[in-house]
Amino acid sequence: MVFGKTEAPLTVIRSSRRSIGVEVKNGAVTVRAPFLALPREIDRILESHSEWIEKKLKLCETRFREAEEAGPLTREEILKLADRAARVIPPKVEHYAKLMNIEYGRITIRAQKTRWGSCSSKGNLNFNVLLMLAPDEVLDGVIVHELSHRKHMNHSKDFYDEILKVYPEYHKHDKWLKTHGHALMLRLAGMQ
């Protein structure tokens, strides 16, 4: 289907939801609609969101281009990044954990294609090796995000308030990750 001047695959997924939603991801458009939504209703939503869809599709193209220009990471490059992460991340975690009065478990560094970090219910922290390719402030934001899960295992207002107490610039750096992070993740494509 064509959105403005940009062509992209369109998928319609029907379910028991109440409203029609539109998502743009990886250069494709997905519409989630109620079982009883008429095709003309879906067309109307797509029409009313066409500028937003085209903007998102162009952003996807830019991300793919950035990843292509940078090229896939080799195993050797990933190992070097992991070694650097093992030296850089633990002291930062310790610093922010003290500031936040939080205890945590083990720290693991991994090359992941979908997540920047995670926190288990036992307090073990996991961080993506690709964070070594992001600005330092972005890494700090991910660390504070994961440590905040030690107090709130959700993404509630209280959770974000916890982050902002320690890292008031969080949203600015999280936006960088949302804008450029996908291109970084695509660099793992060459890894098996």
The whole-number pLDDT of residue 191 equals 43
- Please write the tens of the pLDDT for every residue from 78-107: 999 999 999 999 999 999 999 999 999 999
The whole-number pLDDT of residue 192 equals 36
DSSP secondary structure letters along 85-102: HHHHHHHHHHHHHHHHT-
- Dig out the tokens for 75 from the structure: 């195993």
> pTM score, two decimals?
0.72
CATH superfamily membership of 75-190 = Metalloproteases ("zincins"), catalytic domain (3.30.2010.10)
**How distant, in Å, are the alpha carbons of 19, 32, 36, 96, 176 from that of 16?**
9, 10, 9, 43, 34
- Please write the tens of the pLDDT for every residue from 141-166: 999 999 999 999 999 999 999 999 99
Q: Which residues of the chain have pLDDT under 50?
A: 191-192
Pairing of strands 125-128, 107-110: parallel
Residues of CATH 3.30.2010.10 domain(s) within the chain?
A: 75-190
Residue 31 φ then ψ, to 5°? -110, 130
